[in-house]
Chain A
């Protein structure tokens, strides 16, 4: 073996290479202390007895001068008296034979030993592995800490998993629906009481956990109205492993079940599946009832004459019935979702607005309605440009929430309003017309009765006037009665007769009246028989009304004409006059009930029923009436009647 080279270390270099060295003499008195050892053991000084600070730990011998030579060549461990730390190394004799030197370093087993001894890593020589050992120990500690952290995390996850499992079991146990969770081999993982009840399984759900369900479909298929479809459905679901929801199954008992199938995957791996069965019989029954009710409501709404509109809580239209669409002049698609307030704008008159009752009801929650009297009816501008008279009511809908929207019910009363206006005029006119002859008769009768000496010829004349007024009065009453009969649907008495002859009779009857005013009644056209099948009395009424009107509105000295002829399958009667004529704007209303055209700035005397009676009779016979007139020149009324009415 080759001896090591003489590297010639001086004392300072030895101090650097072995900073924990110490030397002592033959009496075991300290001769030198290394830099780092001095930092570790501040009380370990030159001149001190070695045994004051250290004791020999291995070999386990008393620290006596005579024993030191035997330690040469073997590992030596000293132990510090105070701190019980170890110094591991070896002893060498000093070159001059004056003593011994210990070359070694502390042996620490945990990193905190460094700090406890006031040392740092730099206090160790670069070749010393103690610092490396401590580093390894530190790494081990880190690994241990990691392990503890992982264990803690696993414990937390396991605890959380247990909690989740308990919650899941509790949740499933309390579900109203029947739930069955199976593993991939179809062994039961979780099942609840509701499932057992649905399928008539007489067992505690807990006892079923772990049981094989492979044959369960076959075992329970007899419960279903379509057993094979039930088995097939389960087989397909298990094969496809795709979520299925809302499958409807009917039991033989009549109950209806809804089934969900949910495959369970974890990180892409199939872990089993869940069946969920719900008895929805009550729900289906309720839905059917609701559908029926909705259908009834829908039919009802569609068939009532009033417009009905509902809105949501914001006032947007959610439903309209047919009448509402008709009155508003728009389609459903145009109005659904549209704000009702913008569609239903009311006015009190032609010009003044009526606030916003829709917003008012939405805001206040208090119902609103137009009054029942005619002067409280409102104007409504329809979407297709008409102006109608309406009555309406708006009420909040109160459901499970405070404000569930509102409902508007409204009716087009334009016709009623018109009739009301006409009736008002009629009552006024009839009152006047009835009062006039009565007043006249009363005056003449009072005069006759109050003067017993009155000459016979004067009395006769006065009574003649009374008779004339009575006749006029009777005519008016007859006209009102006739109108009333027509309104009541009086049956026609059809018979064949000669219309020309009838016209001649009437002309003869009226000639004295016309003659008294120098109004001539001319016969227009050929005077030949024209036979017609009709209600003679009603047709008579038509001709009397037309001729009487013609005479009434023809000034003295004028003329009236009547002609009867056949035109194809029709019989045509034309009554003309050279009277005051009718203004163009009055023509459309001429045949309306109670309408009396202004005549010379005033209403003409009469009930306003004559022409409406004429029109009603003509139409009943399947005919038509037409009027041509020019103010100041006269009028011609032309009646066209089927010679043989179809019914």
Chain B
């Protein structure tokens, strides 16, 4: 997993629960990393371990933590890390979502050690589209949900996300119908 992701988990925990809580979470997860390099690849098990430890330490379900983290990622981490690139990734929510596949293709080329997820969009209408999420990582759907809700806030639209297909029901990927309505920055 991208170091930026782990660092984002650290920032989220530190900003909301304080640095001592983060140190306890790291100790509980057996993670002895003082600084996560943004572009470095870290074992997925480390990220999962940190989320599980945060869940135990903070008494929150892992899904809740992941979703909070997704939203925090979009609103706090990505603007700081990607800056202008994020601003140039799309002027609207659907534009942004449709650029996601290109973005992750480029990331895969630049950092061959990373295994970024693959996205596709389809069925775009005036106020909805279908986002296809392909990943060899399991259990990160709440993270993606948080990202989409964060994007709704970023583009100041009300967003509804329906999980319409999943690997648990026979599909080979996760499918979300994303519906937006203008002026509903939730």
Partner-B contacts on A (CB < 8 A):
110-115, 119-122, 126, 131-132, 134-136, 138-139, 141-143, 145-146, 149-150, 153
Q: Give CA–CA (A171, B170) in the complex, Å.
A: 68
Q: Give CA–CA (A550, B37) in the complex, Å.
A: 119
Segment of B52-60, B81-89, B123-131, B136-144 in the binding face: B81-89
25 contacts across the A-B interface (CB closer than 8 A): A111-B82, A114-B85, A114-B87, A115-B84, A120-B90, A120-B91, A120-B99, A121-B90, A121-B99, A121-B102, A122-B95, A122-B99, A126-B102, A132-B110, A134-B85, A135-B107, A138-B84, A139-B38, A139-B39, A139-B110, A145-B38, A145-B81, A146-B37, A150-B35, A153-B34
Q: Give CA–CA (A136, B112) in the complex, Å.
A: 13
Whether the Cβ atoms of B83 and A111 lie closer than 8 Å is: yes
- Any A CB within 8 A of the CB of B98: yes
Partner among B88, B103, B110 whose Cβ is within 8 Å of the Cβ of A119: B88
- Any A CB within 8 A of the CB of B111: yes
Whether the Cβ atoms of A114 and B88 lie closer than 8 Å is: yes
When distances are taken between beta carbons in the complex, the residues of chain B under 8 Å from A153 are: 34-35
Chain B interface residue count, CB cutoff 8 Å, equals: 26
When distances are taken between beta carbons in the complex, the residues of chain A under 8 Å from B95 are: 120, 122
Smallest CB gap from B90: residue in A: A120
Q: Other than the known A132-B110, A142-B81, A143-B39, what 6 A-B pairs have Cβ atoms closer than 8 Å?
A: A114-B85, A115-B84, A119-B88, A138-B83, A146-B39, A153-B35
Chain A nearest CB, measured from B70 CB (Å): 19
When distances are taken between beta carbons in the complex, the residues of chain B under 8 Å from A134 are: 85
Smallest CB gap from A147: residue in B: B37
When distances are taken between beta carbons in the complex, the residues of chain B under 8 Å from A110 are: 84
Q: Give CA–CA (A119, B84) in the complex, Å.
A: 11
Partner among B87, B109, B110 whose Cβ is within 8 Å of the Cβ of A115: B87
Smallest CB gap from B89: residue in A: A121
Whether the Cβ atoms of B38 and A146 lie closer than 8 Å is: yes
Whether the Cβ atoms of A138 and B37 lie closer than 8 Å is: no
Q: Give CA–CA (A149, B83) in the complex, Å.
A: 17
- Any A CB within 8 A of the CB of B106: yes
When distances are taken between beta carbons in the complex, the residues of chain A under 8 Å from B87 are: 114-115
When distances are taken between beta carbons in the complex, the residues of chain B under 8 Å from A132 are: 106, 109-110
Chain A nearest CB, measured from B93 CB (Å): 13
Whether the Cβ atoms of B110 and A135 lie closer than 8 Å is: yes
- Any A CB within 8 A of the CB of B151: no
Partner among B98, B102, B103, B111 whose Cβ is within 8 Å of the Cβ of A139: B111
Q: Give CA–CA (A111, B86) in the complex, Å.
A: 9
Whether the Cβ atoms of B103 and A136 lie closer than 8 Å is: no
Chain A nearest CB, measured from B24 CB (Å): 19
Smallest CB gap from B81: residue in A: A142
Whether the Cβ atoms of A122 and B83 lie closer than 8 Å is: no
Whether the Cβ atoms of B88 and A120 lie closer than 8 Å is: yes
Chain A nearest CB, measured from B130 CB (Å): 19
When distances are taken between beta carbons in the complex, the residues of chain A under 8 Å from B89 are: 120-121
Smallest CB gap from A126: residue in B: B102
- Any A CB within 8 A of the CB of B4: yes
Instruction: Give 10 closest A-B pairs by Cβ, nearest first.
Output: A111-B84, A114-B88, A112-B84, A142-B38, A120-B88, A111-B85, A138-B85, A135-B106, A115-B87, A146-B38
Whether the Cβ atoms of B38 and A135 lie closer than 8 Å is: no
